[in-house]
C-alpha cells in the first residue's frame, strides 16, 4: 500500500492519498512507513518540478497534502516512543520572499527526524533571524528562498549574523528553487541542501547525530 501512496501523492491524487493514509493508520501501519512513502513521493514531485513537468500549483498542492498527512499522523506519532532529539534548527524564508512550501517540507522532515525546529515563517528580516538565534540558540540555521532576489537577502542575513557576533555559534544552510553551490559561496553560508533530505542530513552531520 505504501507504493500506492507514493504514486498517489506524486501524481497529485489528493483524495486517494489521504484515503490511503487513513486506511494505513487504521490497519496499524507504522507511521514511519507512511513518512518514508511521503518522503519518496516528495522527491519525485521535486524532480518533476525541476524537469518542468510540474509548476508552482503542483508544488502548492503537494505542500497542502503534506500538511494534511502530518495532521492525520500527529496523534499516531505522539503514541510512539519519543524520538531522540538531536538539536535545534532555526528556519525561515528570507526577506522579500514569501514562498514557504519547500521550507514547510524541510521543517516537517527535520521534526520527524528528531530536531526541535523553530519556523519563523516567510519574509523574515536579517534582524529577526539574529534575534531568534539569540533567543532560541539553535545549532543550525536554514535560510530558504525561491526567488533570485533571495540571494542578496541571504547574504545580508549571514552578514547580520556575523556582525552580531553569532556566526561561530551556528552552521548555516541555504535551500530553495534557484539555489546552488555558487549561491552558497556568494551568501557565505556553510552548505547548500538540494532537497529536504539533504537538509536533514546536513543538520544530522553538523550536530553529530548517527
Q: Residues 112, 195: one domain?
A: yes
% of the chain beyond a pLDDT of 70? 97
Residue 114 and residue 59 share a domain:
no
DSSP tag of 167: G
Which pLDDT tens digit goes with each residue over 110-120? 887 789 999 99
Q: Same domain for 131 and 98?
A: yes
Q: Which of 22, 46, 79 is the last residue of a domain?
A: 79
* Shared-domain flag, residues 64 and 110: no
Could you say which of 45, 61, 79 is where a domain stops?
79
Average pLDDT over residues 56-72: 86
Can you give the CATH number for the domain in which 35 is found?
Answer: 1.10.1240.10
Q: What is the mean pLDDT of the chain?
A: 90
Range of lowest pLDDT (40-49, 74-83, 169-178, 184-193): 74-83
Based on the domain organization, do 62 and 165 belong to the same domain?
no
Could you tell me the strand order of the sheet in which 115-119 lies?
A: 115-119, 87-93, 140-144, 171-175, 191-192
* Per-residue confidence (pLDDT) for residue 81, from 0 to 100: 65
pLDDT of residue 87: 93
pLDDT at 210: 63
- In which domain, by residue range, is 60 found? 2-79
Total domains, the chain: 2
Nearest to 71 by CA among 131, 11, 31: 31
Confidence of residue 196 (pLDDT cuts 50, 70, 90): confident
**Same domain flag for 191 and 118:** yes
Nearest C-alpha neighbor of 210 from the set 80, 114, 90, 142: 114
Q: How confident is the model at residue 165 (pLDDT cuts 50, 70, 90)?
A: very high
Whether residues 160 and 190 fall in one domain? yes
Q: Is 177's pLDDT higher than 90?
A: no
Q: What was the pLDDT predicted at 166?
A: 98
Instruction: Read off the pLDDT of each residue in 64-71 and give the average, rounded to a whole number.
Output: 87
The β-bridge partners of 116 are: 88
* H or E segment to which residue 186 belongs: helix 181-187
Q: What's the whole-model pTM score?
A: 0.73
Query: In this structure, are 39 and 106 located in the same domain?
Result: no
The whole-number average pLDDT for the span 38-67 is 84
pLDDT tens digits, one per residue of 11-41? 999 999 999 999 999 999 888 889 888 878 8
CA distances from 121 to 21, 28, 88, 101 (A): 27, 34, 16, 11
What pLDDT is attached to residue 64? 87
- Cα 49 from Cα 52, distance rounded (Å): 5
Check residue 120 and give its pLDDT: 97
pLDDT of 46 above 90: no
Look up cell 534575534; give the residue: 131
**For residue 83, is pLDDT > 70?**
no
Amino acid at each position: 500500500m505504501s507504493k500506492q501512496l507514493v504514486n498517489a501523492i506524486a501524481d497529485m491524487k489528493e483524495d486517494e492519498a489521504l484515503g490511503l493514509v487513513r486506511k494505513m493508520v487504521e490497519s496499524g501501519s507504522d507511521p514511519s512507513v507512511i513518512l518514508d512513502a511521503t518522503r519518496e513521493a516528495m522527491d519525485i514531485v521535486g524532480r518533476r518540478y525541476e524537469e518542468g513537468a510540474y509548476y508552482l500549483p503542483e508544488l502548492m498542492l503537494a505542500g497542502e497534502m503534506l500538511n494534511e498527512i502530518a495532521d492525520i499522523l500527529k496523534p499516531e506519532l505522539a503514541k510512539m516512543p519519543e524520538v531522540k532529539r538531536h538539536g535545534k534548527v532555526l528556519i525561515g524564508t528570507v526577506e522579500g520572499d514569501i514562498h514557504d512550501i519547500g521550507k514547510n517540507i524541510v521543517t516537517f522532515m527535520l521534526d520527524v527526524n528528531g530536531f526541535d525546529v523553530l519556523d519563523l515563517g516567510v519574509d523574515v528580516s536579517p534582524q529577526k533571524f539574529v534575534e531568534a538565534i539569540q533567543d532560541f540558540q539553535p545549532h543550525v540555521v536554514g535560510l530558504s528562498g525561491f526567488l533570485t532576489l533571495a540571494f542578496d537577502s541571504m547574504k545580508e542575513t549571514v552578514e547580520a549574523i556575523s556582525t552580531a557576533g553569532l556566526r561561530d555559534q551556528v552552521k548555516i544552510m541555504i535551500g530553495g528553487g534557484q539555489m546552488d553551490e555558487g549561491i552558497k559561496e556568494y551568501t557565505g553560508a556553510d552548505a547548500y541542501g538540494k532537497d529536504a533530505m539533504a537538509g536533514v542530513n546536513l543538520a544530522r552531520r553538523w550536530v553529530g547525530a548517527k
